[in-house]
Structure 1
């Protein structure tokens, strides 16, 4: 990204001013995921005007876009060449941006087969707490210089700096896809998903809720047809299937409509035992279990730990603190060291990820 880009210069000036005056900045994009993480604080720093696709090489399967670029714009450009973002990024509402997509690090239903957004970040340009432009990684997989630093920004919720531009690996759209529906209780569904994982099946996504198991098969037409024949189930019409998975991805499914009860996100081993609790929605082959409950924070975290995982308070109408699982002292020190290295004066998104960062 060119250092004389007008919006980049504007951001640099705002950072230097905030640093000199001892003020904090709240990095703002489309605002579609502001409910996620700890309560935002600081003076708003709008990055939505840092827009545009910088480069796109369909033959190289790489696209580079600025942070304020709408995700829908990115996906439309990819669709013209029958390519997509394999990690299925959720939108939640209109206005989702590339920067927010990376900063929150959230992936959709296809994450179980394709991998997370972190697996597809090739490089990034950012502004640190000193107003300096830093560039990490590159635009090809073989360029590994600083590769891990680029991925470090994924899920950082802006505490390390302002994401200005990101290079992402993309993939061709699957040639064939079908969604199957089975009537299964929780235990039977989880057992089936474990069995499916042990077979050579083109399972792209799975979801279970209220006695129904949905399985999306994607890949070569022959492989999808063979798997469908072997598994049986009821096949959804293509349009119905697409709408259903988009509703799950963007939390427009009826399960996510309740805004009064805290929504927890439990990350556990896929083979973990059934919870046998109401108000669940299960994804990722059993590894992601959404839970709506008024139970105490410690109780939910203990439940997740017993299953070998951890719990995140994904959405809470009361906006309580302690969203993420507390870190060990060793991990806390690593987080503090990283914050100090990138943002020594704690200008960006204070406390958005963990208290004190």
Structure 2
């Protein structure tokens, strides 16, 4: 089976898992009477695991190759997902399981994105990484629909998702293992430092995407519950953000190949920021929220893929693995701080502050692009 196709299917299922787990656990904890700030901090355990995993994945990847790393990530996610269903509600145990899911997800995303970036033709890298982002976004938009499975039992969504992961893992046996080229010379800290100086602006794109994704999926269900929006509508509004991103993922990738990803990212940041500023004014009008979430996703839903394409464009092939470590680190860092910032802002200044915060970050990113100048390694 075609390697690129298998990796895209894996990314699709990984996106669906993350899209389901975040709002599902937030809703279940909300029904247990857990405060918004504690709920948000609990969700951050997933991203703590993802963040810590990033520091250890590059060396095993270079030594053993992509395929073994993907198998390890799959085993961690599948076993943890099934344990959610088997153990039932326990705040401490769920905290640990969220951490383990984060580790597994981080391994899966790092290995797939590095493999795709490494094998992409230079003149089509934006398109290929956009397809990566497209499949992740599609899965992420499907994931929250699994909330509706709660009607059949609290354990049902976890069993369904774990089973999908297990079946997807079988596809890995149809592709051949490969290894990325190892970087030469210099210590890891010095190499990462120099790479960071070269690509600090592209790295902000996955950071912002992680922050937006986590903040919306963890904090929006709480915001919506305060407005008395039903669980069913929440499961439809949240995917609107990712469904909107599906409209322009590949076209934006093609435009970035032609005009450069920096220009495309800055324009999309301004437009997306303006949309977030408008969200609080529609209140509890669910159709208005769906439209605005879709518009926001259209403009900023490709930030992750375009950011990776931008990093790959600026770095030599021997540094792609290191660059993707930093990109994953920034995505996970954004995902880690997003729920906490969202929850604290909502408690301190009200629910609308969630969207003012996201819009402000996007405008600041667009302004930061004015100061970015690429230098050769």
Higher relative contact order, structure no. (Cα contacts within 8 Å, ≥ 6 residues apart)? 2
Tell which structure's C-alpha radius of gyration is larger. Answer: 1
* Larger fraction in helix: 2
Instruction: Give me the TM-score of the superposition, normalised by structure 2.
Output: 0.26
Q: Which has the higher strand share?
A: 1
